[in-house]
Structure 1
Amino acid sequence: MGGDSGQGPGFCEDARMGGRAMRGWFWADGRWGTLEEEVLRPGDPGALQGKGVFETFRWTAEGVPCLEQHLARLGWGALRQGCAPLPPLPYGELLGELLKRSGLPQGRARLTLRPPGVRPRLLIQLCPLGPDFERKRREGVCLSLSPFRRSAQDPTVAIKLVSRGFLDRALALAQAEGADDALLLSEEGVVLETCTANLFLIDAKGRLATTTICDAFLPGITRARVLRAARSLGWEMGNNWLKKEDLGSAREAFVTNAVLGLAPVRRLGPWHFGPGPKSLELQRILDDGPKES
């Protein structure tokens, strides 16, 4: 999906700092509240039918890289789905206030834009990061190879839809097998993405490799930052048409999305990796990059 799903374990859990519980907060069409409160009405058509589009990213006191790009993609997806345009609001200020009210040093932000006539139409949430957030970034994630194949003809692949049936099914199966996420392949066997992130390899020749944006997946905003950083470092680019057989010969592997940033891959199906030097170098560059608020 090129970005974290905004769903799953840990999204709305409480966190603790100094013995004090810190809860997630929301802003919904001008209303503030904690995530313990009821937001949607029973029988809400948007919720029942899974209508709407969303964006997720990690929000800190400094902001987030590429906030305007996230908002632009949300607006673009809304128009593709027949939703009204994204309203012009001070999103940085709203997210900053949610962070302040939550008492969190950083959190997982999710903006959900729903169809016209459904209330709330715009829902902004800020929740604690999952308990395994730092572990994934430090030690790496485990990926399984999904048995499901994604068609290039699927019209939803480039849009972050609230309804995520295919992706949620693949993710649930991977987690039942003890993995963090699932790697998706196309019907032709081309490596696409995971359910929540984009995949990169450092191939056998030390080159950076990732599937091109011409295929059936969502090219993430963090993915684009990695490509820019690699070019600025003068790194050689490898194969942009990755197949399953390319996975076992790679030196390193890592995933990117706007919540984790960059996380190494420590296991991908039967193949084992570790946090390699190039993955960690790019992780540092992304972490030190400019933020928008």
Structure 2
Amino acid sequence: MLVYWNFNLIKIENKSDYQFFDRAFHFGDGVYETIAVKDGKVMFFDEHANRLVSNANSLDIPIIIDIPDLGKNIDNIIKSNKIDQGFIKVIVTRGLMTDAGLSYPKPMKPSLLIWGQKCGFTPLKEKRPYKVIQSQHERRNPYSKVTYTKTLNYLSNIIAKNEADAAGCDEAIFLNTNGNLAEGTTSNIFLIDNNGKIHTPEVASGLLNGVVRSKIILAAIELGFEIEESVISPNKLKHSKGCFLTSTLLDIQPVSEILGVAKYEVSSSIDILEQLENKYQSYS
């Protein structure tokens, strides 16, 4: 077989020798996890590993490594690349295409990739508040299994993030197909009302239940804050005193503006954010 790849004709003897025959390349057919590394240690490994296995199982993708071995290999990547502060990405794909169709390949031979990169983490007090846009083009589907699964197919997120970039914003948030708040392209969203109560969209609104999201909810409960997971109308954006995002690489990220919708004085809720941040960091 001859294929044309980046201006070169390549003779293919064995498809398995070329990763561009992987279904991840053709269909985004796989799952992944991004895990923070701080002081040379992975953060919340068990939660990420369990979600990786759960997501793979929900898509009928066999996991070809057990969790203890996954942890050992992640530690090896961290040490080999001298990652003190950064992240690890674990990707599991359904493996090689056996034909051009969408049906699962038989036999299925999944692929595994673990890689890492150095990056910094900015303390809460030093963070520049984000400007956020409400995506006008993309919606989350709360009735789709894919919505709740961390898959390799991120085209909808990419479109919305580019929408934010074009508007001079840092992040885009999705409404769902029912018109209610869901999540950001790589983050979960929280609101703080005028009484100091914290609100976040319920998972059934169509969002990925982020590891950091879960930890922040736990932190709020343990600190004695009133917190509610519920269906949230976008009207609540303009009637809140504060807004923040959470993700593996952001931790807690204050928001100063939802473009054309609401502006927030970060100073009015910074005490709540600092308490949440300190509690969250204690879990590591």
CA contact (8 A) 1:255 1:263 kept: yes
In structure 1, distance between residues paired with 2:244 and 2:18: 37
Match in the other structure for 1:252: 242
Q: Could you say which residue in structure 1 is the equivalent of 2:65?
A: 87
User: How many Å separate the matches in 2 of 1:150 and 1:191?
Assistant: 9
**Counterpart of 1:264?**
254
Q: Quick one: distance in 2 between partners of 1:84 and 1:243?
A: 38
1:183 is aligned to: 173
- Give TM-score scaled by structure 2 length: 0.80
* 1:187-198 equivalence runs, <5 A: 187-198=177-188
Alpha-carbon displacement from aligned partner over 1:37-62 (angstroms, at most 9, x marks no partner): xx963443331221110011211245
Aligned-partner Cα distance in 1 for 2:150–2:185: 11
**Residue 46 of structure 2: aligned partner:** 68
Q: How far 1:210 sits from its partner (Å)?
A: 0.7
Q: Which whole-Å CA distance do the structure 2 matches of 1:233 and 1:40 have between them?
A: 52
Distance 1:62 1:115, change over 3 A: same
Contact 2:34 2:90 in 1 (8 A): yes
Q: How far 1:142 moved relative to its partner?
A: 2.1
The change in CA–CA distance for 1:238 and 1:45 in structure 2 (over 3 A counts) is closer
Q: 1:106 aligns with which of 80, 85, 93?
A: 85
Deviations 1:81-140 (A, max 9, x none): 22112511433332222222223321121100111457871101101227xx53887223
Q: In the aligned structure 2, how far is the partner of 1:267 from the partner of 1:138?
A: 14
Check conservation: 1:59, 1:95, Cα contact below 8 A.
Answer: no
Aligned ranges 1:151-230 → 2 under 5 Å: 151-230=141-220
**Aligned equivalent of 1:128, options 118, 126, 133:** 118
Matched, 1:97 2:91: no
Equivalent pair of 1:40/1:120 in contact (CA under 8 Å): no
Residues 1:50 and 2:38 are matched in the alignment? no
CA deviation string 1:268-293 (max 9, x = no partner): 22322226221122122212323xxx
d(CA) in 2 for partners of 1:58, 1:207: 28
For 1:113, what is the secondary structure of its paired residue? Answer: strand
What TM-score, normalized by structure 1, do the two folds share?
Answer: 0.77
Q: Distance in 2 between matches of 1:212 and 1:141?
A: 23
CA distance in structure 1 between the aligned counterparts of 2:146 and 2:156, rounded to whole angstroms: 10
User: Structure 2: where are the runs of 5+ without partners?
Assistant: 1-16, 98-108
Q: Would the aligned equivalents of 1:253 and 1:279 in 2 still touch at CA under 8 Å?
A: no
232-241 or 69-78: bigger deviation: 232-241
Deviations 1:219-239 (A, max 9, x none): 111111111111111112257
1:235 pairs with 2:237: no
Q: How far 1:183 sits from its partner (Å)?
A: 0.7
The Cα RMSD (Å) is 2.4
Of the two, which has the highest radius of gyration?
2
Q: Distance in 1 between matches of 2:214 and 2:20?
A: 40
Cα separation, partners in 2 of 1:100 and 1:64, compared to 1, 3 Å: closer
Q: In the alignment, which of 43, 52, 56 is matched to residue 78 of structure 1? A: 56
Residue range with higher mean Cα deviation, 107-116 or 230-239:
230-239
